[in-house]
Structure 1
């Protein structure tokens, strides 16, 4: 059995980061921002229901009476001669930073090596900062560490109000005692241990500082604060062990692929919140590390990486599905951490729920009752949007992509094509579970929808899909969403060829990714709305396009797409919401948090390149693509079996429980049925 991934496998060297000013680390209960200009500084923290968006913690050092500030920022006394930031490492559970101070003045050398470890806490709403200081000089020194906390405007935000934007500041905090503040019903305190010590020559000492929030009068006595970070790390390790138990380990000689795979998995891990008061545990946040989008969208929970996410969730997939179904998605696009529905109906919610349910069914099974409720939900969503023949009018950007220009609105190819896919998939789930659904009529309706997409929306002059407005106005938007209609089976071979012809440089392909709108579309392409209007894309889109191409047998073109985003594995600890396609980076303004759709990279490798495709009836089909080098995925856990896939340019091999399994010669596939009960 291959070694499973651990938290250490997701270490990221912060010297490689392209957006170090937007770095966060989370415990699943608390998320904390890192002040990248310092060795020890912290900026902002969120521990629902408590929000401290403008809080800061900075640290000052004093050595034998000489002040040593942390950092060299403008306006800081001693700038240029303070503690200098040298390097750092991010893990999902901690961030370490190393700094150096080396000054020879008036015949005296003061030389310190400083290492900080920032750990968001789990048993408390807050964080711990451990600072290790080594005296490199040849004489002992007296060291004093002074934590300076500015609590800002802490806020108590009910769980039902944590939506897309990070919670804003509350009321100003008032100091009510040494190291204690109060703002309304929120209490804040800073605790410490070992602030003043004598450090012998060559020796190292450490100091622990903790900051926590809570209800006024509700903070428990502060004892043994040095154990708080240890408890948080233990909790993270246990969660990671469970989440990664069935995730295969990648081995490859393809440059950049392993780093991309690991960062994709890390993007999923930091979206799994472990909070006792959330509606599910784990709770799949769309983003969350910076306090924003700490809500669960059906769309990117199930729409981008359903198979990989369900591997991480295991038996909890059902609870996540149930929490989304319990909300009225005909009125909401997401649920808050307590299950409260948020926002407006979203056009992609139905197909995303079905995708996650199909992944769960393949890996664990599904009940007939749940399939029936999924069908009812899909029917209710369809009824919410006006019918135009067999198609739905999905309204304006409010319910769709939120582009800044008019265009991909009202009657569109996607997500109408996904409606057809969803009906077919629900029919298969009904057959597998015994649900009493009208399977034949569902499949007939799916065929009618696909024909309507092709006949009513395809423009033979533009060789692209048109969008139809209620008053007869039409728009041609060369949007990446058209490839979702291709994936859903709504295109004839000729239409597919026309779509694929535009996956090339100067159109949808940039040197560092794909563009959400083709650069050839001079009406809708722009650089301000990177995720949906051009110049880049939402992070899940490039790997989803690559996956679509692998599913169609277009291995060379699929790799042309995926290889363009491998740089992200080298430069982000977790993937951001959007990124440019013509240069390596993200837009300079707006939130640069994480995104659960970052799991789409692992999904493309797992189900596209390696071709591991779980089926709704519990079978696993393996249909590998042509790799650009040697690629092995070892130890996929599937219904109690261990599956390995080894690919090279000259051959393919699939093993089940360590035994080679021959590929079917005619289709180059192997079908693995359920031979043992699923893992408990």
Structure 2
């Protein structure tokens, strides 16, 4: 049975990402400010952007005004925040007020539900007030809406940075504003009620932007959007298996990883694809699609979520001139600079598409030509390529993993082998012998020219001959893509220990004992933490190599994330359970890499480019897991690491048997 919306409920009291709680309908995304029970912050619904908008709600009970979001401490008088729950499509927050005024008790509970709208720009805030005073109380809401500087941003301009606000909107009526051609209005269903003892008053406010907003009372709008959320989630998860496990933390981690993918799917019909896979997007930033993280981190989970639309996503990315851009905006416009990993990411995604849906010979040929063109974009260095500076690579803040590097040169070799395989499977007429020969030459050159035997690690070579030895997690990607002999791999794997790459809460992008390059200001790629997709991908690489104990040693350090994030941020620390407090790091599609590693690594489910599937579940050190309801090419597959069994359409099959 597919997951239901309420199974993704996350207790916000456990969150370690203060100030970063957003919720999306797949059309509108809106911010719930920390410490507030009823407040609403900025929102985005492309092409509309209202980053500096706000809605505050002051309560009134028997003539006493009560402010929301009381400051911490004894002096903080007002409605007190008492926790809440996040789930796809809405945020519920709780508040309490319990004070005496001139000898009479005022006591009530407040429950607000914030629902981003689907099909139009805006949100609905429902406020339920339960009277605990033991007598009838007259309750009123006093909304204070600030539209900020809302503006219409062309879909081709939604890039990495969230849109800036426009000129301040001017009032055009009691609850209406205009800024240029953008109108904003607030509607409600009444703002005052008499509430008997033990009774509950329900209020509803809607804030909407743009002409032609669909009619409806606020609560009706919220109900319709909630129904769309359930429909979207059911569609995205219809093929994704349900996980059960006795391993502490594994189930919430699995669900948090899935949620990370769900919040990156957008349904706006004006976008180049629907669903559209955004790299991030919850706070309006990176509401664009990178080839790199879309294809590179969880291609099979993404195919399960997208279904046949996965081919559309691949084709949309192939339309971008990746020799000049790294991403596409929602309307298909190319954005950014060329990125060294784009070709590998496309081939990775295409290999997953081939497994789940098949690829035509024409598409394989087009993919080959695109990858060759991107390869030619970077300067030849013998059999290898010079990938330039951090501008095109990892964006470390110091010199290091630059120019002629083991990764992504190893990924080039992997791509050539996969293109040859896809050509043979599809009937495309690529020069498969030449492709495989070039792949062998690249791997030989990496070992010969970049491997430092005495250090047991790869060097990076600059054009002037200078070399850097950076203990970077990216080197394990070179290992995963076939650049290492068993001896080389053994030397590298010895660094997967505490005090080097491993820490209590994950993996460090730069090993802690690399004192030349390790730093704490850039947890993304320079140390003290890592990009969220890297830890799970390393665990998967280890499972793929036949190192299950080491794979689990990496994975178990990440399970805390499911308990402390409703969806996974772009990066996180590895020495403590937290994400950096500053910067634009709200959510990331590569959060799906955790579920990908569990499905294809821990559970041993391997999707084959020819459409077959092999499942080899193996015992895990700390317990077991069961995956039920995986839908693949019209088969329903269950896998258990507890019993080591595989079931296809209700019938037992041998582990390791090819399923077609």
With the shorter chain as reference, the TM-score category is over 0.9
* 1:652 aligned counterpart, secondary structure: coil
For 1:14, the equivalent position in structure 2 comes to 12
Alignment match of 1:118 (pick from 114, 121, 126): 114
How many angstroms does 1:219 deviate by?
Answer: 4.1
Alignment match of 1:502 (pick from 495, 498, 519): 495
Alignment match of 2:658 (pick from 653, 659, 671): 671
How many angstroms does 1:331 deviate by?
Answer: 0.6
- The answer on whether the counterparts of 1:467 and 1:475 sit within 8 Å (CA) in structure 2 is yes
How many angstroms does 1:422 deviate by?
Answer: 0.9
Alignment match of 1:129 (pick from 125, 133, 138): 125
For 2:644, the equivalent position in structure 1 comes to 652
Match runs of 1:92-171 below 5 Å: 92-171=88-167
For 1:309, the equivalent position in structure 2 comes to 302
How many angstroms does 1:197 deviate by?
Answer: 1.1
For 2:51, the equivalent position in structure 1 comes to 53
- The answer on whether the counterparts of 2:188 and 2:217 sit within 8 Å (CA) in structure 1 is no
Q: Distance in 1 between matches of 2:70 and 2:18?
A: 16
Q: Distance in 1 between matches of 2:214 and 2:226?
A: 21
Q: Distance in 2 between matches of 1:52 and 1:364?
A: 39
1:335-365: CA deviations, max 9, x gaps? 0010000001000001111111111111111
- The answer on whether the counterparts of 2:120 and 2:214 sit within 8 Å (CA) in structure 1 is no
How many angstroms does 1:79 deviate by?
Answer: 5.8
Q: Distance in 1 between matches of 2:419 and 2:171?
A: 58
* 2:97 aligned counterpart, secondary structure: strand
Match runs of 1:164-313 below 5 Å: 164-214=160-210, 218-220=211-213, 222-313=215-306
Q: Distance in 1 between matches of 2:232 and 2:649?
A: 25
How many angstroms does 1:221 deviate by?
Answer: 7.2
How many angstroms does 1:222 deviate by?
Answer: 4.8
Which one is further off, 188-197 or 305-314? 188-197
- The answer on whether the counterparts of 2:124 and 2:205 sit within 8 Å (CA) in structure 1 is yes
How many angstroms does 1:107 deviate by?
Answer: 2.1
Q: 1:79 to 1:275 in 2, by over 3 A?
A: farther
Runs of 4+ in 1 over 6 A off after TM superposition: none
* 1:532 aligned counterpart, secondary structure: coil
TM-score scaled by length of structure 1: 0.95
Q: Distance in 2 between matches of 1:442 and 1:242?
A: 39
Q: Distance in 2 between matches of 1:423 and 1:616?
A: 15
Q: Distance in 1 between matches of 2:133 and 2:357?
A: 61
- The answer on whether the counterparts of 2:30 and 2:42 sit within 8 Å (CA) in structure 1 is yes
Q: Does 1:384 align with 2:380?
A: no
Q: Does 1:443 align with 2:436?
A: yes
Unaligned 5+ runs, structure 1: 664-668, 674-680
1:359-417: CA deviations, max 9, x gaps? 11111111111111110110000011111111111110000000000110111000110
How many angstroms does 1:478 deviate by?
Answer: 0.6
* 1:43 aligned counterpart, secondary structure: coil
* 2:42 aligned counterpart, secondary structure: strand
Q: Distance in 2 between matches of 1:575 and 1:500?
A: 27
- The answer on whether the counterparts of 2:189 and 2:217 sit within 8 Å (CA) in structure 1 is no
For 1:68, the equivalent position in structure 2 comes to 66
* 1:670 aligned counterpart, secondary structure: coil
Q: Does 1:464 align with 2:457?
A: yes
1:266-295: CA deviations, max 9, x gaps? 000000011121110000000000110000
- The answer on whether the counterparts of 1:123 and 1:228 sit within 8 Å (CA) in structure 2 is no
1:594-621: CA deviations, max 9, x gaps? 0000000000000000010101111111
For 1:355, the equivalent position in structure 2 comes to 348
- The answer on whether the counterparts of 1:31 and 1:46 sit within 8 Å (CA) in structure 2 is yes
How many angstroms does 1:36 deviate by?
Answer: 1.6
For 2:41, the equivalent position in structure 1 comes to 43
How many angstroms does 1:16 deviate by?
Answer: 0.6
How many angstroms does 1:625 deviate by?
Answer: 3.6
Q: Distance in 2 between matches of 1:223 and 1:264?
A: 35
Match runs of 1:465-484 below 5 Å: 465-484=458-477
Alignment match of 1:28 (pick from 22, 26, 29): 26
- The answer on whether the counterparts of 1:302 and 1:353 sit within 8 Å (CA) in structure 2 is yes
Q: Does 1:415 align with 2:408?
A: yes
Q: Does 1:346 align with 2:344?
A: no
1:458-494: CA deviations, max 9, x gaps? 0112211111111111111110000000000110111
For 2:427, the equivalent position in structure 1 comes to 434
Q: How many residues align?
A: 659
- The answer on whether the counterparts of 2:25 and 2:225 sit within 8 Å (CA) in structure 1 is yes
For 1:638, the equivalent position in structure 2 comes to 632
Alignment match of 2:595 (pick from 595, 602, 605): 602
For 2:391, the equivalent position in structure 1 comes to 398
Match runs of 1:500-649 below 5 Å: 500-628=493-621, 629-648=623-642
- The answer on whether the counterparts of 2:260 and 2:592 sit within 8 Å (CA) in structure 1 is yes
* 1:537 aligned counterpart, secondary structure: strand
Q: Distance in 2 between matches of 1:202 and 1:622?
A: 56
Unaligned 5+ runs, structure 2: none
Q: Distance in 2 between matches of 1:35 and 1:250?
A: 32
RMSD, aligned CA: 1.3
How many angstroms does 1:662 deviate by?
Answer: 1.7
Q: Distance in 2 between matches of 1:242 and 1:223?
A: 26
Q: 1:136 to 1:566 in 2, by over 3 A?
A: same
- The answer on whether the counterparts of 1:194 and 1:206 sit within 8 Å (CA) in structure 2 is no
